[in-house]
């Protein structure tokens, strides 16, 4: 294994979150009764002409800008021919030699380093329908709800060298399309799918080896496992004197292997040509500028800003920038109370913990960023202790109430009145002469016992710093 290195390029299909299909009016929603979201264009009835959904182009340009691509002023929709029951026209409308985006890159964090992965191109496509093969009878059924759903395909350069980098790259793409709000990123439902091209070569070789394409990997884990398996398989073939055949393979997660599906098809096989039903796509500078104005802060920028401005731990920043919803939540809270470290901790521990436990996420969070900021403020100005804050937080999560209100109505305000604290201390000392004796004889560990007793007697409301100070004075005097 040590004499070889792998070369990997990914082709990632992203389902765009438009309401209607790429060339037709039917809905793109999933989960409907088969063949209910169809129309004459989707069914390829004779005499029907496709009309491009403008939003598809907006989304593709947005993605191209976010991944540092060149947006092409003219691109062409082409017919890619193959025959399959779920493709009623007999061809798929795609882009061939003139795609909408060229030559971009993304920066991916892998094991503490940042690696740049080149994008060859991003092109538009329509999805095909779905064939359902019944076990019981020699019958296959076709559902065309998905036919004509808009996709972009993101083709990477062969810059990836192992499964970990491939996984990180996929996660990064998912994060970007979700920040851009152009795809829900749901891999189980197929909104994001990946074909992995894998080859191996002797270390030091200048030419790439023959590649194998593994089709339709629809989870990060499958991408990583299939690549690992394939690298090992190819090295095995080569070291035992064989050669790699260029082919398309499938990942079988049950056996943990890739299996040969068919020999590789070449572009010539598809008889690509410009679709005469569709005009060239002409995009001018104004159009691109208008799309650029809609770009949000991207995950990489948010990561850098959180790291540099707030000096937060990289692991915490990773969690906070995973989703735009979370980073905006954090930003909002910090804008109301400037304690980023504490707010970050509350979000990533208590808040995420509770959301996880309830099996929900930030979209349905009962605790608003305003209320979380207010809670941290109440701790910072000494109104409540950190311990009481957890009780208040639980109540906030249950009721959606404001922390100030909860503290007042439940009488949870921290006691910082030294007179009252001294009284509580004296009561505990009087009631526990033996512990006082052992403290005096040098067993200073019992200090914690006194703290605990006073806290218990005061329902945890005593200011802990003040308590420590006064208790020590009293015991040492």
Q: Which residues in this chain contact ligand ADP in the complex, by CB under 6 A? A: 7-11, 155-158, 197-199, 208-209, 211
For ligand ADP, the closer CB: 20 or 199? 199
For ligand ADP, the closer CB: 199 or 463? 199
CB of 460 to ligand ADP, least distance (A): 59
For ligand ADP, the closer CB: 106 or 429? 106
Cα distances (Å, whole numbers) of residue 264 to 152, 247, 272: 22, 4, 17
CB of 396 to ligand ADP, least distance (A): 48
For ligand ADP, the closer CB: 11 or 313? 11
Query: How many Cα atoms sit within 13 Å of 220 on the Cβ side?
Result: 14
For ligand ADP, the closer CB: 99 or 129? 99
Residues 6 or more apart from 449 whose CB is under 8 A from it? 432, 435
CB of 211 to ligand ADP, least distance (A): 4
Instruction: Calculate the CA 15 to chain-centre distance.
Output: 15
For ligand ADP, the closer CB: 224 or 323? 224
User: Which secondary structure element, helix H or strand E, spans residue 107, and what is its range?
Assistant: strand 101-110
CB of 93 to ligand ADP, least distance (A): 18
What single-letter DSSP state applies at residue 462? B
Token look-up 């954090």 returns 330
Q: Which residue of the chain is nearest ligand ADP when measured via CB?
A: 9
Cα distances (Å, whole numbers) of residue 217 to 13, 163, 168, 276, 310: 10, 13, 15, 33, 38
DSSP E strands in 148-205: the ranges are 150-156, 192-202
CB of 215 to ligand ADP, least distance (A): 12
Which residues on adjacent β-strands are paired with residue 70?
Answer: 102
CB of 228 to ligand ADP, least distance (A): 15
Residue 12's closest CA among 212, 179, 217? 217
What single-letter DSSP state applies at residue 448? H
For ligand ADP, the closer CB: 67 or 156? 156
Write out the two tokens for 161: 């060298």
CB of 67 to ligand ADP, least distance (A): 14
Cα separation of 75 and 94, whole Å?
11
Which residues on adjacent β-strands are paired with residue 318?
Answer: none
């Amino acid at each position: 294994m040590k004499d070889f290195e792998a070369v990997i390029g990914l082709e990632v299909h992203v389902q765009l979150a438009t309401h209607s299909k790429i060339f037709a009016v039917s809905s793109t929603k999933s989960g409907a009764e088969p063949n209910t979201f169809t129309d004459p264009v989707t069914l390829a009835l004779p005499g029907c002409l496709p009309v491009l959904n403008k939003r598809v182009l907006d989304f593709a340009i947005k993605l191209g800008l976010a991944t540092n691509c060149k947006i092409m002023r003219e691109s062409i929709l082409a017919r890619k021919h193959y025959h399959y029951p779920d493709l009623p026209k007999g061809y798929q409308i795609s882009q061939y030699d003139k795609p909408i985006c060229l030559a971009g890159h993304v920066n991916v964090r892998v094991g503490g380093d940042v690696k740049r992965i080149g994008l060859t191109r991003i092109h538009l496509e329509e999805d095909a329908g779905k064939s359902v093969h019944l076990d019981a009878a020699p019958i296959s059924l076709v559902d065309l709800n998905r036919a004509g759903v808009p996709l972009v395909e993101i083709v990477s350069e062969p810059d990836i060298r192992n499964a970990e980098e491939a996984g990180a790259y996929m996660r990064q793409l998912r994060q970007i399309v979700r920040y851009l709000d152009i795809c829900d990123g749901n891999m189980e439902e197929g909104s994001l799918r990946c074909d992995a091209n894998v080859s191996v070569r002797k270390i030091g070789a200048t030419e790439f080896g023959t590649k194998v394409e593994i089709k339709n990997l629809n989870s990060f884990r499958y991408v990583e496992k299939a690549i690992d398996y394939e690298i090992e398989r190819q090295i095995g073939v080569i070291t035992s004197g064989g050669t790699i055949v260029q082919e398309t393979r499938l990942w079988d997660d049950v056996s943990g292997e890739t299996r040969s599906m068919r020999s590789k098809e070449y572009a010539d096989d598809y008889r690509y040509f410009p679709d005469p039903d569709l005009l060239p796509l002409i995009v001018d500078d104004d159009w691109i500028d208008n799309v650029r104005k809609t770009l949000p802060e991207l995950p990489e920028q948010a990561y850098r800003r959180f790291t540099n401005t707030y000096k937060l731990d990289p692991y915490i920043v990773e969690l906070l920038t995973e989703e735009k919803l979370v980073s905006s939540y954090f930003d909002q809270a910090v804008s109301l109370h400037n304690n980023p470290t504490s707010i970050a901790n509350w979000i990533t521990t208590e808040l995420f913990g509770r959301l996880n436990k309830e099996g929900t996420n930030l979209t349905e969070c009962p605790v608003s960023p305003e209320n979380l900021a207010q809670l941290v403020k109440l701790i910072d100005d000494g109104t409540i202790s950190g311990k009481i804050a957890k009780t208040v937080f639980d109540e906030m999560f249950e009721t959606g109430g404001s922390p100030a209100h909860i503290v007042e109505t439940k009488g949870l305000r921290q006691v910082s009145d030294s007179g009252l604290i001294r009284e509580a201390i004296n009561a505990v000392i009087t009631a526990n002469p033996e512990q006082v004796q052992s403290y005096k004889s040098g067993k200073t560990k019992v200090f914690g016992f006194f703290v605990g007793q006073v806290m218990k007697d005061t329902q945890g409301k005593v200011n802990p710093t003040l308590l420590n100070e006064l208790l020590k004075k009293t015991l040492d005097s």
